[in-house]
Amino acid sequence: MATWNDVAAVLFPDVTRTPEDYETMYPPRDLAEGARVTRVAPSPTGYLHLGVFYSALIDRLTADASKGLFYFRLEDTDKKREVEGGADDILASLNRFGLPIDEGFVAPGKVTGDYGSYVQSERVEIYHTYVKWLVENERAYPCFCKPEENAKTREQQEARKLRTGYYGAFAPCRNLSADEALQKLQAGEPYVVRLRSDGDEERRVKFDDMIKGHIEMPENDEDFVLLKSDGVPTYHFAHAVDDHLMRTTHVIRGDEWLSSVPKHLQLFRLLNFKAPKYAHISPIMVEEDGHKRKLSKRKDPQAAMHFYAEQGYPAASVLEYLMTIASSEFEQWRKANPTADRRTFPFNIKKMSVSGALFDLNKMNDVSKNVIAVMSADDVTAAVLAWAEEYDKDFFALLDRDRELAKNIFAIDRDKPKPRKDMAKWSDAPEYTAFFFDETYVPTTELPESVSPADAKAILAAYAADYKEVSDQSEWFERVKAICAPLGFCPDVKEYKQNPDAYKGHVGDVSTVLRLAVTGRRNTPDLCRIMELLGTDRVLARLADTANAL
C-alpha cells in the first residue's frame, strides 16, 4: 500500500531540503525588540499604482516608527501580467518619489539582504519543499479535477444556491487514497495541489486588524489551490511562505485581501508559522459628480506614479500630500511644525481611517505649491532642469543656455516672508518663465481698462526715453512715478482715490502698461528684477514693439 510520503516523493522528486533547513537558512532577524519588518510586494507590471505607493509609504513609516526594516519583494508568479523591465520601473518610481528600501531590491538592478531570493519565481524550490511536507503530513493533496468539472460543480452549486468552491462534498479528490493519487500521477494526469482544509464554516476565526479593528469571519473550509498545474504557487501560499521566511512582522496591503485572511491564518497555523500582524488599507477614493469611487487605473491618470513624474511633482510634495490623507492629524501637526521633517511626525497606523482616503488633485496642488515655495532657488533650478531634460527638451534647451539666468529667475521673490506660489509642479515652469525668453514671450496689446492706446504709447515712450536698468526696487518705482504726472496719471494711489476725476489713472495703471509690454502679462513677480534679468536691449525692444503694435 502506498503512503502519502510516496505521493510526495513522486510529486517533488527534486526537493532535497526540508522546512527545517530553511528555518536555519533564514533565522529570525537580529533586530531590536519591537522592530517592525514590513514589505512592498508588487508584481512587475511596469506600473506603480498610487495605491501601492501609498501602502509602501505606510510600510516605510511603520518600519521607521519602530527602528525596523522595509524590504521589497517581487511577486512575479503571474507571467501573463509581467512586463519586460517592469520591476526596474517600479523600483525607479519608488526611489524617485523618496521611499528608500532597506533590503531586497533597493534600486533597479541592485539587490541586498540575506533573506532572498526576493523574486518569487526564483523561490519555487522553497515552495515545493513546504508543499511536499504538507502532502507528507496529509495537509495537502494533488487534485486531478479538470477545469470543466470544476465549472460544472460551480453551476450546480449556484443552481442550488450553495456557496461555490472546492470544499467538503464538492471536493472529490480530497477522498482519493494515496494509491489512487499515485496511479493518476503515474498515468501522467495533470494536477494542482490543494490544501486539505481542516476548517469548519460554522466556526469563526477572530483576529485584530491594525486598521480595521476586531474582525470575525467563518473559518475557511475550502481546499484552495497551493500550487497551480505549472508548479507555481498561488498568492495565498507564497504569501505565507515568503512572509514567514523573510520574517515580516506586519503585512500591510490593500483590503481586497481582507476576506482571504482566514485562509492565510489557517496556512500559517498548519505550517507551524507565527502569523504576522495584518493591516488592510482601504482603497484611495476620488470624487466624481458628487459620488465617491475607487481611484481607477483606467479612468484616472493620477492613479499611476508615472503621472507625477511626467507632471514634475517633487517627491516631497507627493509624500507631504499623502501624509495628509494617511493621517487626519498630520495637517494640524504641520501647522504647529511648519519646517519640521515630515518623517518626525508621530505616525500611528492604528489611527488610519477605516474608510478609503479621498484623493483630491487640487488639494495636492496646493500642498505642492507650499512645498515648492519654501525650496531654495538652487534646488528648484536643479529639479526643473532635471524634469525638463526628461520631459520638455525645448524648455530644457532654453534654460540650459544660461543656467545662471535660470537660477536668477527662480530666485525672484523667493526670499520674501511670503513667497509666491506660482508653481505646483515643474511642468508649470515653462509657462511661468515664458516671457524671459524671446522664443516663448507672447506680446500683447492688452491694456488696463482705464488707459487708452494713445496714453499707453505715451507711457511707453516716456519710460523708454529715460530708461535705466536699476537693481533697487524703490529706485525703480520712483522712476515709474516720475513719468506719471506729466502724462496726467497720479503717482500716488491714495491721492488718486481722493480725487479720481483729476487724473487719467494712477501709478498702478502706468506700471501695468509697462508690465504688459515687457512680459505680456498682468501678473508677474517683481518687475524691477524681471527687467534687470531681461537686460536693457530686450526691455527697450519690447517697449518699442508694443508701442508700435498699439
Cβ neighbour number for residue 419 with a 10 Å cutoff: 17
Task: For 221-258, give one letter per residue: b (16+ CB within 10 A) or e.
Answer: bbbbbbbeeeebbbbbbbbbbbbbbbbbbbbbbbbebb
Provide the minimum distance between the beta carbon of 28 and ligand GLU in the complex, in angstroms, as a whole number: 20
Provide the minimum distance between the beta carbon of 43 and ligand GLU in the complex, in angstroms, as a whole number: 5
Nearer to ligand GLU, 58 or 178 (CB): 58
Question: Residue 216 forms beta bridges with which residues?
Answer: 206
Q: What are phi and psi of 156, to 5 degrees?
A: -65, -40
Cell of residue 98, nine digits? 523618496
Torsion sign (Cα): 337, 341, 346, 351: positive
242 near ligand GLU, rule: CB under 6 A: no
Query: How many chain residues are in contact with ligand GLU, going by CB under 6 A?
Result: 6
* Identified catalytic residue from 294, 297, 421, 481: 297
Nearer to ligand GLU, 42 or 356 (CB): 42
Residue 369 catalytic?
no
264 near ligand GLU, rule: CB under 6 A: no
372 near ligand GLU, rule: CB under 6 A: no
Query: Using CB under 6 A, which of the segments 36-44, 224-232, 472-480, 521-529 binds ligand GLU?
Result: 36-44
Provide the minimum distance between the beta carbon of 38 and ligand GLU in the complex, in angstroms, as a whole number: 10
For the chain, what's the residue count? 550
Give the angle 153-174-145 at the CA atoms, nearest 5°.
45
Give the residue among 143, 133, 204 at the shortest CA–CA distance from 174: 143
Nearer to ligand GLU, 49 or 128 (CB): 49
Distance CA 132, CA 20 (A): 13
Q: What are phi and psi of 251, to 5 degrees?
A: -95, 110
Residue pair 22/133 in contact by the 8 Å Cβ criterion: no
Please report which helix (H) or strand (E) contains residue 377, including its range.
helix 377-391
113: left (phi over 0), alpha (psi -120 to 50) or beta: left
Q: Could you give the string, one character per residue 210-239, with x where binding to ligand GLU holds by CB under 6 A and - elsewhere?
A: -----------------------------x
Nearer to ligand GLU, 194 or 264 (CB): 264
139 near ligand GLU, rule: CB under 6 A: no
Q: Are strands 250-254 and 277-281 parallel, antiparallel or unpaired?
A: parallel
Task: For 161-181, give one letter per residue: b (16+ CB within 10 A) or e.
Answer: eeeebbbeebbebbebebeeb
CB-hemisphere CA count at 13 Å for 379? 10
What three-state secondary structure class fits 414? coil
248 near ligand GLU, rule: CB under 6 A: no
Q: Single out the residue of 8, 37, 41, 295 in contact with ligand GLU (rule: CB under 6 A).
A: 41
Nearer to ligand GLU, 120 or 427 (CB): 120
Query: Using CB under 6 A, which of the segments 37-45, 222-230, 401-409, 531-539 binds ligand GLU?
Result: 37-45
Q: Are strands 489-490 and 505-506 parallel, antiparallel or unpaired?
A: parallel
Q: What are phi and psi of 257, to 5 degrees?
A: -95, -5
Provide the minimum distance between the beta carbon of 41 and ligand GLU in the complex, in angstroms, as a whole number: 4
Provide the minimum distance between the beta carbon of 285 and ligand GLU in the complex, in angstroms, as a whole number: 18
| Alpha helix stretches (DSSP H) within 200-260 | 235-245
Q: Which residues contact 464 (CB under 8 A, 6 or more apart)?
A: 540, 543, 544, 547
Nearer to ligand GLU, 221 or 243 (CB): 243
253 near ligand GLU, rule: CB under 6 A: yes
Residue pair 367/324 in contact by the 8 Å Cβ criterion: yes
Q: Single out the residue of 57, 66, 75, 132 in contact with ligand GLU (rule: CB under 6 A).
A: 75
Q: Single out the residue of 38, 43, 93, 317 in contact with ligand GLU (rule: CB under 6 A).
A: 43
Query: Using CB under 6 A, which of the segments 35-43, 384-392, 454-462, 535-543 binds ligand GLU?
Result: 35-43
Nearer to ligand GLU, 250 or 369 (CB): 250
Residue pair 192/229 in contact by the 8 Å Cβ criterion: yes
Say if residue 117 is preceded by a cis peptide, omega within 30 of 0. yes
Cell of residue 350, nine digits? 492604528
Nearer to ligand GLU, 236 or 542 (CB): 236
Nearer to ligand GLU, 184 or 239 (CB): 239
Provide the minimum distance between the beta carbon of 253 and ligand GLU in the complex, in angstroms, as a whole number: 3
44 near ligand GLU, rule: CB under 6 A: no
Q: Single out the residue of 11, 12, 42, 93 in contact with ligand GLU (rule: CB under 6 A).
A: 42
Provide the minimum distance between the beta carbon of 138 and ligand GLU in the complex, in angstroms, as a whole number: 28
Distance CA 541, CA 293 (A): 54
99 near ligand GLU, rule: CB under 6 A: no
Provide the minimum distance between the beta carbon of 73 and ligand GLU in the complex, in angstroms, as a whole number: 8
Provide the minimum distance between the beta carbon of 81 and ligand GLU in the complex, in angstroms, as a whole number: 9
Nearer to ligand GLU, 12 or 105 (CB): 105
Provide the minimum distance between the beta carbon of 299 and ligand GLU in the complex, in angstroms, as a whole number: 20
Return the active site residues.
297
Point out which residues bind ligand GLU (CB under 6 A).
Answer: 41-43, 75, 239, 253
